[in-house]
A and B are shown apart, each in its own frame.
Chain A
Amino acid sequence: MPVVHKTGTVKSKQGSNTQSQKAPTAKTAKAASKKKDEEDGTEMGEGDEWMQGKTLIKPLDQLDLTEAELKEEFTRILTANNPHAPQNIVRYSFKERSYKPISSVDQLAVHFVLEGNLLHQDSDEARRQRAKQGLPEEKATVETAVAEKPETPAAGGEDAGDVEEGGGEERADSVESKAGKKEQKITNQFNFSERASQTLNNPLRERGCQTEPPPRANFSATANQWEIYDVYLEVLQKQEKNKEKAKAVPKKDDDKGKKKMMLVETQSDDITKVAKVAKIIERMVNQNTFDDIAQDFKYFEDASDEYREQEGTLLPLWKFQYDKAKRLSVTALCWNESYKDLFAVGLGSYDFTKQGRGMLVFYSLKNSTFPEYIYPTTSGILCLDIHKHLPYLVAVGFYDGCVAVYNLKEETLQPIYKSTAKSGKHTDPVWQVKWQKDDMDNNHNFFSVSSDGRVVSWTLVKNELVFTDIIKLSLAGAVSEGPEGVQLPIMACGTSFDFHKQIDYLFLVGTEEGKIHKCSKAYSSQFLETYNAHNMAVDAVKWNHFHTKVFISCSSDWTVKIWDHTIKTPMFTFDLNASVGDVAWSPYSSTVFAAVTTDGKVHTFDLSINKYEAICQQPVVAKKKTKLTHIEFNPVYPIIIVGDDRGYVTSLKLSPNLRKKPKEKKGQELPKGPEVEIAKMEKLLSLLREPENSNA
Chain B
Amino acid sequence: MAEVEETLKRIQGQKGVQGIIIVNAEGIPIKTTLDNSSTVQYAGLIHQLVMKARTTVRDIDPQNDLTFLRVRSKKNEIMIAPDKDYFLIVIQNPSD
Contact = CB atoms under 8 A, between A and B. Distances in A.
B7 A275 contact: yes
A282 B10 contact: yes
A276 to B, nearest CB: 7
CB-based closest 10 A-B pairs: A226-B58, A229-B62, A226-B62, A288-B94, A277-B83, A280-B81, A277-B81, A278-B7, A284-B79, A281-B81
Interface in A285-319: 285-286, 288-289, 291
Nearest to B3: A275
B86 A273 contact: yes
Contacts of B20: 281
B24 interface: yes
Nearest to A271: B4
A278 B11 contact: yes
Majority-rule SS of B interface residues: mixed
A274 interface: yes
A225 interface: yes
A282 B58 contact: no
A531 interface: no
Nearest to A225: B62
Contact of A289 (B16, B63, B87): B16
Given A224-B59, A274-B4, 15 more contacts: A226-B59, A226-B62, A269-B24, A273-B83, A274-B22, A274-B88, A278-B4, A280-B68, A281-B20, A281-B68, A284-B79, A288-B16, A289-B14, A291-B94, A370-B10
17 contacts: A222-B55, A269-B30, A270-B1, A271-B22, A274-B88, A275-B7, A276-B83, A277-B81, A277-B86, A277-B88, A278-B11, A280-B88, A284-B81, A285-B11, A285-B92, A289-B15, A289-B94
Contact of B59 (A225, A269, A279, A281): A225
Contacts, number: 93
Contacts of A277: 81-83, 86-88
A369 B20 CA distance: 18
A75 interface: no
A199 interface: no
Interface residues of B, number: 37
Interface of A: 222, 224-226, 228-230, 269-282, 284-286, 288-289, 291, 369-370
Contacts of A271: 1, 4-5, 22, 30-31
Contact of A284 (B55, B83, B90): B90
Interface in B1-55: 1, 3-5, 7-8, 10-11, 14-17, 20, 22, 24, 30-31, 55
Contacts of A270: 1
Interface of B: 1, 3-5, 7-8, 10-11, 14-17, 20, 22, 24, 30-31, 55, 58-59, 62-63, 67-68, 70, 77, 79, 81-83, 85-88, 90, 92, 94
A291 B70 CA distance: 14
Contact of B55 (A224, A269, A274, A275): A224
B16 A273 contact: no
A278 B10 CA distance: 10
Nearest to B90: A281
A126 to B, nearest CB: 92
B9 to A, nearest CB: 10
A376 B79 CA distance: 33
A226 B94 CA distance: 35
Contacts of A224: 55, 58-59
A636 to B, nearest CB: 22
A369 B10 contact: yes
Contacts of A273: 83, 85-86
Nearest to A291: B94
Contacts of A280: 67-68, 81, 88
B36 to A, nearest CB: 19
A274 B83 contact: yes
A177 B35 CA distance: 105
A369 B81 CA distance: 19
Contacts of B79: 281, 284-285, 288
A177 B59 CA distance: 104
B22 A285 contact: no
A329 B90 CA distance: 35
Contact of A229 (B63, B85, B90): B63
Nearest to A278: B7
A291 B68 CA distance: 17
